[in-house]
Amino acid sequence: MSPPRQRWGRSSDGLIWIFQHEFEGRLSDHIEASRQRSSTVNAGVEPARSAQPPASQKQSGVGFFAGRFAGRTAVITGGASGLGLLTAERIVQEGGKVSLWDINAAALNVAAQKVGGAHTHKVHVGRHPDVADAAQKSLEALGKIDVLVNCAGITGATVPVQDFPVDNWLQVMDVNLNGIFYCCREIVPAMLGQGYGRIVNIASVAGKEGNPKASAYSASKAGVIGFTKSLGKELATSGVLVNCITPATFESPILDQLPQSQIDYMRSRIPMGRLGHAEECAALVCWLASEECSFSTAATFDISGGRTTY
């Protein structure tokens, strides 16, 4: 039996359990299982056929690109779990070094053991002094910062606007939007000094469409998209590229903050009939964070199972 759901900011074995059990095995196995779950929830959905893994998985079971991040360093916020941790693992396995930032010290300790050689720093990204200190410490530990992946985020309350707690609204904005501004403000100068950088911000389809009873989250993610466009254009000729991704709902610890009814609503909006998997997002993030991404900046990359195609 699975452990009880946990809330953001609490140290728990639940978060570790979610990561270990959600992301063990082949991605194609998770996709097939997700399709089968969806077919039991959504009446009338055609039963899923067997998913065929891509060629890279057939060859190695993983799909990593050896040496893609050789000599590169990355700071990853929200790096102790979910998409942040998976991205860190890929970067390290592909030759890079990482500094993991997270508010959860216990989860950071577990992540550091999982990602060999990772530098870690406990950070509240919604507090500028915390971010400034972490940026300096990470620069000293890594020697340089080539990549910044802004994964840290919270959902906030799931209530109508008239009932939304003001303090919770401000908390969501501090973490989801101000936090990205603080991180970019402190790390961009190092990237400009070396003439190279890749910044990937995690937005959401909610920032494009807006989700009912999720006004703070939707507004903050719309702000991330706008901020990405602005900063990307500012830095377009500098060698520092800035892009964001807009995932639909995917399996991750952040779902612990939402009622099941909200998760079911978001699944129903996805034409592919399932939630995404963090491995799929990590693959896109790692491309955007690499030298392979060379002529895209200030852009928004959709990964929503067909929900938002603009």
The confidence score (pLDDT) of residue 252 equals 72
Residue-wise burial string across 78-115, b where 16 or more C-beta atoms lie within 10 A, e elsewhere: bbbbbbbbbbbbbbbbbebbbbbbbbbebbbebbbebb
Q: CA separation (Å) from 66 to 10, 56, 111, 203, 248? A: 35, 12, 22, 28, 29
Residues that are catalytic: 217
pLDDT tens readout for residues 14-62 = 332 222 333 333 444 444 544 454 444 333 333 333 334 343 333 233 4
- Give the pLDDT confidence score for residue 1 in this predicted structure: 41
Lowest mean pLDDT among 199-203, 224-228, 266-270: 266-270
pLDDT of residue 38: 42
Asked if residue 232 has pLDDT above 90, the reply is yes
pLDDT at 61: 37
pLDDT of residue 28: 44
Would you list the domain boundaries of the chain?
13-44+54-303
pLDDT for position 168: 98
- Which residues neighbour 166 within 8 Å (Cβ) at sequence distance 6 or greater? none
Whether residue 93 is predicted with pLDDT greater than 50 in this model: the reply is yes
Percentage of the chain modeled with pLDDT above 90: 68
Burial 246-259 (b: 16+ CB within 10 A, else e): bbbbbbbbbbbbbe
The Cα–Cα gap between 226 and 254 comes to 23
State how far the alpha carbon of 182 is from the alpha carbons of 20, 175, 206, 240, in Å: 31, 10, 22, 17
What percentage of residues in the chain have a pLDDT greater than 70?
80
Range with the poorest average pLDDT among 49-63, 102-116, 154-168, 209-223: 49-63
- When pLDDT is cut at 50, 70 and 90, the band that residue 265 belongs to is confident
**pLDDT above 60 for 175:** yes
pLDDT of residue 248: 86
Examine the pLDDT at 201 and tell me if it is beyond 60. Answer: yes
Question: Given this model, what pLDDT does residue 55 score?
Answer: 38
Q: Does residue 204 have a pLDDT over 80?
A: yes
> 69: pLDDT confidence band, cut at 50, 70 and 90?
very high
pLDDT of residue 251: 78
Mean of all residue pLDDT scores within the chain = 84
Angle between helices 166-173 and 215-234 (to 10 degrees): 30
Q: Which residue is associated with the tokens 């995932």? A: 247
Average of per-residue pLDDT across 9-15: 33
Work out the pLDDT band at 129, boundaries 50, 70, 90. Answer: very high
Q: How does pLDDT run across 137-155, given as a tens digit for each residue?
A: 999 999 999 999 999 999 9
260-268 vs 27-41: helix axis angle to the nearest 10?
100
pTM (predicted TM-score): 0.80
pLDDT of residue 221: 98
CATH code for 13-44+54-303?
Answer: 3.40.50.720
